Structure 1
Amino acid sequence: MWSSNDSTEVAFLPIYLVLGCVAAASAVRHGLRGALGHISLVIFCVVRFVGNLLLLIAAHTSGDVKGLVIAGFIMQGLGYSFLITAMLSYLSHLIRDMDRAEAEPAEKEAGGKRTRIERILNVVNIVALVLLIVGFNESMGSISTSSGALNMQDLNVMVKVGNILYLALTVLLAAIAFMHIPRISTSRQKLLLYTMISALPFMVVRCVYTVYVTFQGNPRHGSLAARIVCQYVMEVIVLIVLGVSGLLLPRQGTPHANPL
């Protein structure tokens, strides 16, 4: 018998496929050199699709399904890492575009500092991902099945720390984006920055919700409506914003353009 959670995960499978195709179109349009952010979006869609599929299989399989549950949760947590990677790509291109436009020694030095900040943010992203993977693996002993329903009673503290790091990283990215508003000097910079500003609030909502349910002890805990809105819909909005932005940005080789 299918639960409401199962129906929700099935409903979003074709959505991930469609949005993955949009991201792939953006990646092809800009070529490998300029499509890092869009390739990350394609990977995100694939990972979320597989994660949902694994949880569905686990929910309707008899016997020991702990491995499938862990893999499904890891896929869902790992997916957000690729959204962060895409956003970091936008930030990197934005900062370099602004520095080239200003082309002053002081700004070039500042640009070097910002590059170091980007590297630090990438490291935090990787650390959060590792914490989620290890934490979910350590939580395997807490998974039980009851009446066909999956229940994870107690998550390892590393899962909680990993999700908190993602929330902090997302808020920091939003703050950095808003700090760069006064530096906008071209339409391309405006599109890059406003794409970030448009997408990041939805990512913050998604992270706040994830932290909340993690501390409740079960990633599928609480209201299904809240889960649909605060997790699935937030992610879909971010994918749409970044996907459309990729289609609007000028392609590689366009004069005075530095496409993603």
Structure 2
Amino acid sequence: MTSPSESLDIAELAIYLPLLFLTLFVVFRHGIHRQSGWIYLAIFCLIRIIGAALGIAAAKNPSNVSDLEWSAILGSVGISPLLLASLGLLKRITDETTEKIPTEGAIEKQGWFGTAMSYTILGRIFGRLGVHQLATSYRSRFLQLLQLPAAVALIICIVGGSDLTDSSVSEQSTGGKLIKAGLIIFLIIYICLFLLTAKSATQINSLPAGEKRVLLALIVALPLLGVRILFSLLAYFSTISTFSPTKGSVFVRAFMAILEEVLVVVAYTLAGILVPKYVVAAMDDTRNEVRQPETRMNIPARYAPQQGARQVV
């Protein structure tokens, strides 16, 4: 008979397999060279597929401890890709509503931040893929800055999850502390993300119609992300057995973690399908981007270059 945990893994596998193809469609539709956040959704779906497959394998073969360990580790690193996706989408919105500042455009040419980001795992991977970190305002650069602790927290949680599965009590204690440290970083990033999204929401009237869909997706996703982070905090900071990461209720995990993750991915993917894509058409004297839609339809006034136009900060 299939256990509740195995049933949950099967359900995740059935959900994330088609979502992976949809997210990849969105990534290639908008271009992998653009920093839009959708690439992290594809990575998240892949993590969930591998984790669910390992969980099913562990249920079929309980003697294989390695499958169970890696399934638990991959299950604990879902917050980071979703936060990175949210930061990327919010940056897209911010670039539409904030005053532009000169920028070199590439991650390697953005001073100490570009240097620091390039030495992270994500920076190296996306640097090789040609993913450029374009910042057009100070708020936009701050959003880029938040990606660095999100990547660091991801690494901390992976190391902590690995230590938790160790047979040594001291290693398990260290693993728990590392995961708690990573969760605190995630919480701080979430608070910043919430405040910056609220700021962007006050400027919704200055956004093109397509970009409003992205902002609405963020507004829908933020409470769901909050519940997801709350579940992890309760799992590692409270002594309530229901939220235990190893022996907790499968139903609580399904409705406070798995469901929220699925809804966030669906919201962001739909936004990626509905929002028009754009490309960099030209650069003015201050190296500001002027974006034009890849369509022959009517061009929104906000995409056209306007001399002397004042931007909302």
> What TM-score do the two structures reach when normalised by structure 1?
0.82
| Secondary structure at 1:18 match in 2 | helix
User: Which amino acid in structure 2 is aligned with residue 219 of structure 1?
Assistant: P
1:186-209 deviations in whole A, cap 9, x for unaligned?
Answer: 224422322211111101101101
Q: What's the RMSD between the two structures over aligned residues?
A: 2.9
Give the distance between the partners of 1:32 and 1:83, measured in 2 at CA.
17
Is the CA contact (8 Å cut-off) linking 2:159 and 2:175 kept in structure 1?
A: no
The 1-side partners of 2:192 and 2:42 are apart by: 24
Paired with 1:24 and 1:119, the residues of 2 have a C-alpha distance of: 22
User: Which one of the candidate residues 178, 182, 203 is aligned to 2:198?
Assistant: 178
CA distance in 1, matches of 2:78, 2:191: 18
The answer to whether structure 1 residue 246 and structure 2 residue 272 are counterparts is yes
Contact 1:16 1:48 in 2 (8 A): yes
How far did residue 56 of structure 1 move? 2.4
Query: Which SS does the other structure have where 1:123 is aligned?
Result: helix
**In the alignment, which residue of structure 1 is the partner of 2:164?**
139
Distance in 2 (alpha carbons) for counterparts of 1:171 and 1:95: 17
Q: Does the 8 Å CA contact 2:23/2:39 hold for their aligned counterparts?
A: yes
Instruction: Name the stretch that deviates more: 179-188 or 38-47.
Output: 179-188
Residue type at the aligned position of 2:253 = R
For structure 1, the residue ranges without an aligned partner over 5 or more in a row are 145-151
Contact (CA 8 Å) 1:81, 1:125: kept in 2 or not? yes
Indicate conservation of the 8 Å contact 1:171/1:204, yes or no.
Answer: no
Query: Is the 2:211–2:275 Cα contact (8 Å) retained in structure 1?
Result: no
Q: Quick one: distance in 2 between partners of 1:208 and 1:3?
A: 26
For residues 257 and 141 of structure 2, the distance between their equivalents in structure 1, rounded to whole angstroms, comes to 31
What is the deviation of 1:124?
1.4
Q: Which residue identity is paired with 1:120?
A: L
What is the SS of the residue equivalent to 2:192?
helix
- After superposition, the C-alpha distances for 1:159-197 in whole angstroms (9 at most, x for unaligned) are 122123223322321121012222230224422322211
Mark the CA change 1:214 to 1:190 in structure 2 (over 3 Å): closer, same or farther: same
Larger CA deviation: 24-33 vs 228-237: 24-33
Between the aligned residues of both structures, percent identity stands at: 29
State the alpha-carbon separation in 2 of the partners of residues 73 and 222 from structure 1. 13
Equivalences, count: 244
| 1:43-81 CA distance string (max 9 Å, x none) | 11111110121122223324351x333322222233332
SS in 2 for 1:13: helix
2:95 touches 2:137 (CA, 8 Å); kept in 1? no
The residue aligned with 1:9 is 9
What displacement does 1:224 show? 2.1
In 2, distance between residues paired with 1:64 and 1:143?
A: 19
Q: Secondary structure at the match of 2:247?
A: coil
Partner residue of 1:148?
none
The one of the two structures with greater contact order (alpha-carbon pairs below 8 A, sep at least 6) is 1
Which of 171, 179, 201 aligns to 2:223? It is 201
Structure 2 counterpart of 1:165: 185
2:183 and 2:232 in contact (8 A); partners too = yes
Aligned to 1:212: 234
Cα separation, partners in 2 of 1:62 and 1:191, compared to 1, 3 Å: closer
Structure 2 segments unaligned to the other structure (5+ residues): 103-134, 280-292, 294-298, 304-313
Counterpart for residue 121 of structure 1: 146
Higher share in helix? 1
Contact 2:221 2:263 (C-alpha < 8 Å) held by counterparts = yes
Provide closer, same or farther for how the CA distance between residues 141 and 103 of structure 1 changes in structure 2, counting only shifts above 3 A: closer
From 229, 238, 253, the counterpart of 2:255: 229
